[in-house]
């Protein structure tokens, strides 16, 4: 399987504080890669580095490279609007816009120049179907997205990401605000989506990492301690620190 994202000698500093150290990681295409580790170890910082969301934070400095399809996203020529179109992001708290369900999905395509009503209708139906939400909302497309349940809102946000045709989807603890049933539906959706998309997910929940991911990277103090097939990392870790973490001895 091809590598979609290749991270080489990547370091990130918040002012004086180095949050990521010498990160080396090859993320495979159309797989789910989980990032695990104790609080504050740099998982979210790394995830946000992939689509340069950290650029928005004053004082952030990086060295090294993150290549997607062979192109360094930190190169001067990188167009950030295009980068974030290709690399979509889903956060902990579902964050639909205070608009109708339809307009939430149509928002991105409209920005990218699609105005034709029939085309927009198609995108709305296709992405809501892909996100396993169509049947629940097809009769209320013009009601506010804020009236949906938390789990429905998170699937709507995923449909909104899909509407601009990304190829990588970053998820930062996407189920942490959801109840168990919504979490299960979201996990099923993640597994379905990897047929078409490369997914990188930060999770605090090790069972969740074990259920949805193919590969897992264990972070500690800004470094990757171990990266391997999920099954192997959870059953036969090669580093004692990974073993201590997955067996609940810290974090
Ligand atoms: N905006 C910021 N400004 C300064 N330092 C930050 C900022 N965001 C994170 N950090 C620091 O970077 C380090 C890594 O934080 P990060 O949020 O990436 O870890 P994490 O593993 O995702 O933690 P959690 O699981 O608690 O979300 C921490 O020391 C944190 O204090």
Question: Average pLDDT over the chain, rounded to whole?
Answer: 96
Mean pLDDT of all residues in 16-26:
98
Domain ranges within the chain, ordered by starting residue: 3-246
Atom of ligand 1 nearest to the CA of 37: 21
Work out the burial of residue 229: count CB atoms within 10 Å of its CB; fewer than 13 is exposed, 13-18 middle, 19 or more buried. Answer: middle
Q: How far is the centre of ligand 1, averaged over its atoms, from the C-alpha of 40 (Å)?
A: 5
Q: What is the pLDDT of residues 108-135, one digit of tens each?
A: 999 989 999 999 999 999 999 999 999 9
Mean pLDDT of all residues in 169-185:
94
For ligand 1, say whether the CB of 44 is within 6 Å of any of its atoms.
yes
**pLDDT class for 250, splitting at 50, 70, 90?**
confident
H helix intervals, 163-223: 180-193, 206-212
Q: How far is the centre of ligand 1, averaged over its atoms, from the C-alpha of 20 (Å)?
A: 10
* Top mutation candidate among 15, 19, 57, 218 for ligand 1, by most atoms within 8 Å of CB: 19
pLDDT for res 248? 85
Q: How far is the centre of ligand 1, averaged over its atoms, from the C-alpha of 57 (Å)?
A: 12
**Least confident window among 2-6, 175-179, 193-197:** 175-179
Q: What is the pLDDT of residues 204-231, one digit of tens each?
A: 999 999 999 999 999 999 999 999 999 9
pLDDT for res 73? 97
* pLDDT beyond 80 at 242: yes
* pLDDT beyond 80 at 249: no
* pLDDT beyond 70 at 56: yes
Backbone angles phi, psi at 249, to 5 degrees: -75, -20
* pLDDT beyond 90 at 29: yes
CA distances for 132 relative to 216, 230, 231, angstroms? 26, 26, 27
Please give the CATH number for the structural domain made up of 3-246. Answer: 3.40.50.300
* pLDDT beyond 90 at 6: yes
Kindly report the pTM of this predicted structure: 0.95
CB 25 within 8 A of CB 74: no
Q: How far is the centre of ligand 1, averaged over its atoms, from the C-alpha of 16 (Å)?
A: 13
Q: Could you say which DSSP state residue 100 is in?
A: B
Tokens of 186: 């979201």
């Amino acid at each position: 399987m091809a590598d979609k994202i290749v991270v080489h000698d990547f370091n990130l500093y918040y002012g004086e504080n180095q949050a990521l150290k010498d990160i080396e990681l090859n993320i495979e295409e159309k797989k789910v890669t989980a990032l695990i580790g104790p609080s504050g170890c740099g998982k979210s910082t790394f995830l946000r580095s992939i689509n340069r969301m950290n650029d928005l934070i004053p004082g952030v400095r990086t060295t090294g490279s993150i290549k997607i399809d062979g192109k360094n996203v930190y190169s001067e020529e990188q167009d950030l609007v295009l980068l974030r179109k290709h690399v979509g992001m889903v956060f902990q708290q579902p964050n639909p816009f205070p608009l109708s369900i339809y307009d939430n999905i149509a928002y991105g395509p409209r920005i990218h120049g699609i105005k034709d009503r029939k085309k927009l209708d198609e995108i709305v139906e296709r992405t809501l179907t892909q996100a396993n939400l169509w049947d629940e909302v097809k009769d209320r497309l013009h009601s506010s997205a804020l009236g949906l349940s938390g789990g429905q809102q998170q699937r709507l946000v995923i449909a909104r990401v899909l509407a601009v045709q990304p190829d990588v989807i970053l998820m930062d603890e996407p189920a942490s605000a959801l109840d168990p049933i919504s979490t299960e539906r979201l996990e099923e959706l993640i597994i379905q989506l990897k047929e078409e998309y490369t997914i990188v997910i930060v999770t605090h929940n090790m069972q969740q990492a074990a259920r949805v991911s193919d590969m897992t990277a264990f972070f500690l103090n800004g470094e990757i301690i171990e990266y391997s097939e999920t099954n192997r990392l959870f059953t036969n870790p090669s580093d004692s620190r990974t073993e201590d973490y997955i067996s609940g001895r810290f974090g």
